[in-house]
Structure 1
Amino acid sequence: MNHRLHVVSTRLRAILRMSAGTRPDSAPWTRPLIGWLVTGLLLGVCAVTPLTHPAEAAKLEDRIVAVVNSDLIMWSELKRDLLPDQERLRKLYKGEELERRLKTAEAIAVTKMIERKLQLQAAKNKGVDVSDQEVAQAMEEMKKQGEALNSTDPNTARNVREQLTLMRVVDREVRGLIMVAESEMKRYYQEHQDRFAYPEEYQLSQILIKPRTPDGLSAAQGRAEALLATLKQGEPFEDLAIRFSDGADASRGGRLGLVRQGELIPALEQALTSLQVGQVTGIVETAEGLHIVRVDDKKPRQFRPFEQVKAEIQTLVFQQKTEDQYQIWMADLKNKAYIEIKF
């Protein structure tokens, strides 16, 4: 399939990603393929070897790469699918690393093509069809979205028809079977509560001491230590900030105002984690200088209520269940299929 032809919609992009077998929490795509080879679910499989260099390949006649039930995958198809990835990889890598990544790309491409054949066969067996009018409408919509389509090329219409068919058969065999219960959403909320938390908020004040010469860090450290000692003796933080801080907020008594967790420099964020209201950090060094920070107020992390995030959770659970069901469906198609890799 021509990879320059983009998918019709976000749903179609998700379906095609699933057909590559890539999930954030799944094993590498190669693991199921290797598993089939070992257990014999792929019948009559020959050793998988890397494709020849394009210059050498041009001298070879087209040949069968894989048999998927009654369909063939030809070397010319695989070469066309691989070309964009090969060009990208050759710009980024060299030597053994390039060869390793090319082999991986070849195996990924073969797996995707086998899965695509199986899905299209399933669509045909189930009577899933896409009309010429639907193909034309999809192409018009893609053009409106800025896709560069060659409408006179028959391969373009065929590719669009295939993509629409893939989307439709997955909708029927996978997405249409998914239901999300209230209990599942509540369980997801409890197990992923951090995802629905508001960040902690701080009201902060600081004294910033900057080195006054390129090699003046030691002198700045001495000044900061003296100020910290004065603070411990009870001198008002605001007075010291006005008199000695090099920060832009010095005239306001060092008040930084409201700062949310994640907005601070990591070193300062870490120093504030265990402090209570009214407490002061030690001397924290950053690229900006030496900081002494006081926590004026602290709003603990709060969680968005379930009812507020219910629709969001429903979408997340639906997506997860769809991916799981898709993997089950694909495994069933593969287990029932005759698949022979010949290259």
Structure 2
Amino acid sequence: MSRFIIAAAVFLSLATSSFAAQQVVDKIVAQVNGEMITLFDLNERVRGYITQVEKKAYNPDSPGFKEIQDRILRTMIEDILLKQEGVRLKVNISDTEVDSRIREMREKAGLSEENFTQQLRVEGLTRKQLAESLKKDMLKKQILGYMVQRKVVVTEDEIKSFYDANKGSLRVESGQRIGLIMVAKMDEAKALRQRILSGQIAFPDAARKFSIGPGADQGGDLGKVELKDLAPELRQALENVKPGGVSEPVLLDGKPVLLTIGGDSGQAAAKSGGAPDFEAVKDSIYERLYREKLEKQFTEYMDKLRAKSVIKVNL
């Protein structure tokens, strides 16, 4: 067999296997009233969830992958059902409305546009991801408000009953208090770190004086954050940092940052017996009960939508 024929045979073999692989990747895993979801789109959503929410490496062979895949496919089906229902009811969330909601969040936090973007990066998010999440949430709330007749009501008695039954496990705030200083150059970050460690300047004072990042006016304080919710590079930088210590400089959006963990890390518990005052947790209990009731109504509503839709799953 000539070298040319061998090469052609190999090429055809690779092309065939590549085409087969493409068919597998583009396999239709679900149809919702005629609208399709492909395996590629599903796996991209799964990848984003695993790497950005669970902060783990994407591995289709890992235990639990199929469970996550099934759960996210269910969510994607719900998204399509809601979008179709929005069209039917003429409910639309414009990009302008989403941008306005993001601006409200930014202004409420007292952050500039640049610092807000940096804050999202700290939490491992992009503005596009935030916008997509907000748009779905706003659509969901509008449709529920449009279709659900009875109001979601949480009474004072319900809040008090929940408090009495759970006050032993309630906490005012959780996470670890994180401080951040962002500067323009790596040499500047290294020198500033040495000044802080040597006691020449306190971390909050250094943040107010030199930081160009989020929370500078508050001494670099980002509030209490769960370490798992931080961007991977920041979480890694804090691995060996003890409360009150300062991390080695690490790049965030191309700029070096220093991080510290406050001394009041962990869950802040209360006065006697570890239970917080009722007033301190009243609002958070209300939000929790309200969300649970809203989710219950949402689930019932989605079940009705599914029942009257044509849904085919082939995963």
Q: State the TM-score, normalizing by the size of structure 1.
A: 0.41
**Greater radius of gyration (CA):** 1
Higher RCO, 1 vs 2 (CA within 8 Å, ≥6 residues apart)? 1
